[in-house]
Amino acid sequence: MQTFGRGSYRPFPWYFEGECQVSVSNLDELCEWLLECEYAHDEALFNDADFWQHPRTFEHLRKGDCEDHALWAWRKLVELGYEAELLSGIWHPHGDEPGGHVWVRFKKDDADFILETVGRNRERMIRPFTEAKVEYIPHAGVDHQFQRFAYFGYMRTFRSPSRGA
């Protein structure tokens, strides 16, 4: 599971254990709740370079970094009946430097969407996959049934420069 990040050492079903205190009944409520949460680095919160919070802890603190927001949202989407994947890789938003990131991809009405859980407005949070995909290079993912998979982007990251692009 280290392909998801240094702090990812628990089995994914663990993030679905126990009762959450926050209930959402639709995608809009999920986004509204996330918009009221604060982005905070693991080093500042836990004195740890990479710590993946359980969604119940995230609900209590209402702050965390990208994987904490994404784990909570992934769980909620699955609870709402969506086919959702938690993805880890590189995010390169227009005008910013690329960096490691965790986000959610989900299917609604036979269309794929990216849920950018740390987006600061509703329009930035949910975008059609076809529009948003240029900003994301997924390395690894886990679906709503806890099946893990790897993407070509993960392999590309470790390709030797002497072998070409």
Query: Scanning the structure block, which residue is given the tokens 């740890």?
Result: 48
- Amino acid code (one letter) for 52: W
Closest-CA residue to 19 (of 50, 63, 62, 60): 60
Counting residues of the chain whose pLDDT is more than 70, the rounded percentage is: 90
Angle, in degrees to the nearest 10, between helices 27-35 and 66-79: 160
Over pLDDT 90: what percentage of the chain?
79
Kindly indicate the confidence band of residue 162, based on its pLDDT and cuts at 50, 70 and 90.
very low
Of 14-18, 53-57, 109-113, 152-156, which range is least confident?
152-156
Give, as one character, the DSSP assignment of residue 129. Answer: H
Count of the separate structural domains present in the chain: 1
Average confidence score pLDDT of the chain: 90
118-146 average pLDDT score: 94
Domain span including residue 138: 2-163
The structure's pTM equals 0.90
How is residue 163 annotated by DSSP?
A: G
* Residue 158 pLDDT exceeds 50: no
42-84 pLDDT, tens digit each:
999 999 999 999 999 999 999 999 999 999 999 999 999 999 9
* 161: confidence class by pLDDT, cuts 50, 70, 90: very low
The whole-number pLDDT of residue 9 equals: 86
Give the model's confidence band at 2: pLDDT under 50 very low, under 70 low, under 90 confident, else very high: low
Kindly report the CATH number assigned to the domain that includes residue 23.
Answer: 3.10.620
pLDDT digits (tens, 9 = 90+) for 80-101: 999 999 999 999 988 889 999 9
